[in-house]
Amino acid sequence: MSRVVARGPGRVNLIGEHTDYNGGLALPFAIDRGVTVTAEPLGGEQIEAHAADIGERDEFALAGDDGAAEGWRAFVRGTVAELRAAGHAVRACRLTIEGDLPHGAGLSSSAALEAALCLALLEDPDVDRVELAKLCSRVENEHVGAQTGLLDQLAVLCGQEGHALRIDFRDLSIEPVPLALGEWRLVTLDSGAAHEHAGGGYNERRAECAAACEALGIASLREAASAAGLPSPLDRRVRHVLSENARVDATAEALAAGDLREVGRLLGASHASLRDDYEASVAEVERTVAALEAAGAAGARMVGGGFGGSVLALFPPGATPPDGCVSADPGPAARRL
Ligand code: GLA
């Protein structure tokens, strides 16, 4: 093994939030910002890891993840453990992690890190990307303690430059949708409220969706025809998931028709549903949405797991996004550099 450098991009989900773990639809894309992992071979049986941006280190035996690590260390140890469990050879090495994707901003620094680690550590990186996404998701579910779905990992590992991906989580089929924005611009603005998946509202919403499935006698909310008859708040959670799936296809149609005004309207409708029915917003996110709308956005909505993180907005030609906004352009999938 020689020195390997791998890049995992972050992602923005255009629309289709909290649908992945409900067998639903989403329309994410990989972005330019991301995480870079450099792996340099070492003798022995150890992994040394250095999170360069925050000046922290870790060192552990290849053979052992004792499950006690937290934060970024849990991702590194968990990735090594899952790669080995899946039968991949992992050699002793020194890992250097750096990036330009803020943690907790809802742009999936987690999936960016998992994907970059995998591509840096794999002897042969030419593996099935959907299987790799599942492996990355196990790192998060079983080693980090966040019951997240597959949205982020699929976006980051299967993304296509210039496209969003219509993902159907019922069968994990992926269809690239051209993101032809012309003079329109997609931007993100950090709300300043950091979110954390391992704990808090995210896992609670997942549990509510599971409870709704049980009450309806179905395996996945994709099979639900309506939210009628469910007790509150389960009825509102289901209403969000059903209406959000419909908005994903409406957005893909509006993009195909070049109707960006309609895409903006759908982003706003998604946000209202996430705020009122899914109750996944917080005051900082509401203030950020309002600031973007006041600046002329055609639509703005929270992205990712919610309870903080970034807001995505679509600006028409001629409008000026407020200070702090960063362009969200669809970039390439995770790759070796
Ligand atoms: C987070 C999770 C994803 C998905 C989104 C909400 O980003 O990692 O799996 O559930 O929240 O759409």
**pTM greater than the 0.85 cutoff:** yes
Does the beta carbon of 24 sit less than 6 angstroms from any atom of ligand 1? Answer: no
- Ligand 1 atom 8, closest CA: 148
Ligand 1 atom, smallest distance to 305 CA: 11
* pLDDT tens track for 211-241: 999 999 999 999 999 999 999 999 999 999 9
Does the beta carbon of 308 sit less than 6 angstroms from any atom of ligand 1? Answer: no
Does the beta carbon of 21 sit less than 6 angstroms from any atom of ligand 1? Answer: yes
Torsion of CA 254, 331, 284, 27, to 10 degrees: 40
Does the beta carbon of 106 sit less than 6 angstroms from any atom of ligand 1? Answer: no
Q: Ligand 1 mean position to 149 CA, how many Å?
A: 6
Residue 288 confidence (pLDDT) above 60: yes
3-class SS of residue 139: helix
Rounded CA-CA distance 260/249 in Å is 14
Find the mean pLDDT for residues 112-117.
98
Give rounded-to-5 percent helix, strand, coil for the chain.
35, 25, 40
Would you state the pLDDT for residue 105?
77
Q: Ligand 1 mean position to 94 CA, how many Å?
A: 30
Contact between 248 and 19 (Cβ < 8 Å) = yes
3-class SS of residue 283: helix
Contact between 238 and 232 (Cβ < 8 Å) = no
Contact between 191 and 310 (Cβ < 8 Å) = yes
Band (pLDDT 50/70/90 cuts) for residue 15 is very high
Does the beta carbon of 307 sit less than 6 angstroms from any atom of ligand 1? Answer: no
* Farthest CA pair distance, the chain: 62
Rounded to 5 degrees, φ, ψ at 79 are -65, -45
Does the beta carbon of 154 sit less than 6 angstroms from any atom of ligand 1? Answer: no
* pLDDT tens track for 165-200: 999 999 999 999 999 999 999 999 999 987 766 557
Residue 68 confidence (pLDDT) above 90: no
Q: 220 burial class (0-12, 13-18, 19+ CB within 10 angstroms)?
A: middle
Residue 52 amino acid letter = A
Would you state the pLDDT for residue 1?
64
Find the mean pLDDT for residues 95-114.
90
Cα atoms in the Cβ-side hemisphere of radius 13 Å centred on 280: 33
Does the beta carbon of 20 sit less than 6 angstroms from any atom of ligand 1? Answer: yes
Using most ligand atoms within 8 A of CB, pick from 18, 31, 103 the residue to mutate for ligand 1.
18
Q: Ligand 1 mean position to 1 CA, how many Å?
A: 34
Would you state the pLDDT for residue 328?
95
- Name the range with the highest mean pLDDT among 89-93, 190-194, 296-300, 302-306: 296-300
Q: Ligand 1 mean position to 111 CA, how many Å?
A: 10
What is the separation of C-alpha 303 from the centre of its chain, rounded to a whole number of angstroms?
9
Q: Ligand 1 mean position to 68 CA, how many Å?
A: 24
Does the beta carbon of 148 sit less than 6 angstroms from any atom of ligand 1? Answer: yes
Find the mean pLDDT for residues 64-88.
90
Count of CB atoms situated within 10 Å of the CB of 56: 13
Give the tokens for residue 115. Answer: 């994907």
* pLDDT tens track for 120-158: 999 999 999 999 999 999 999 999 888 889 999 999 999
Contact between 12 and 186 (Cβ < 8 Å) = yes
Ligand 1 atom, smallest distance to 18 CA: 12
DSSP 236: H
Label each residue of 49-92 as H, E or C: EEECCCCEEEEEECCCCCCCCCCHHHHHHHHHHHHHHCCCCCCC
Does the beta carbon of 17 sit less than 6 angstroms from any atom of ligand 1? Answer: yes
Would you state the pLDDT for residue 106?
82
Find the mean pLDDT for residues 10-38.
97
Does the beta carbon of 114 sit less than 6 angstroms from any atom of ligand 1? Answer: no
* pLDDT tens track for 234-280: 999 999 999 999 999 999 999 999 999 999 999 999 999 999 999 99
Alpha helices in the chain (DSSP H): 72-85, 109-121, 129-138, 151-158, 201-216, 234-256, 260-276, 283-294
Write out the catalytic residue numbers. Answer: 152
Contact between 169 and 152 (Cβ < 8 Å) = no
Ligand 1 atom, smallest distance to 17 CA: 12
Band (pLDDT 50/70/90 cuts) for residue 164 is very high
Residue 97 confidence (pLDDT) above 80: yes
Contact between 165 and 175 (Cβ < 8 Å) = yes
Ligand 1 atom, smallest distance to 16 CA: 12
Using most ligand atoms within 8 A of CB, pick from 108, 110, 150, 152 the residue to mutate for ligand 1.
152
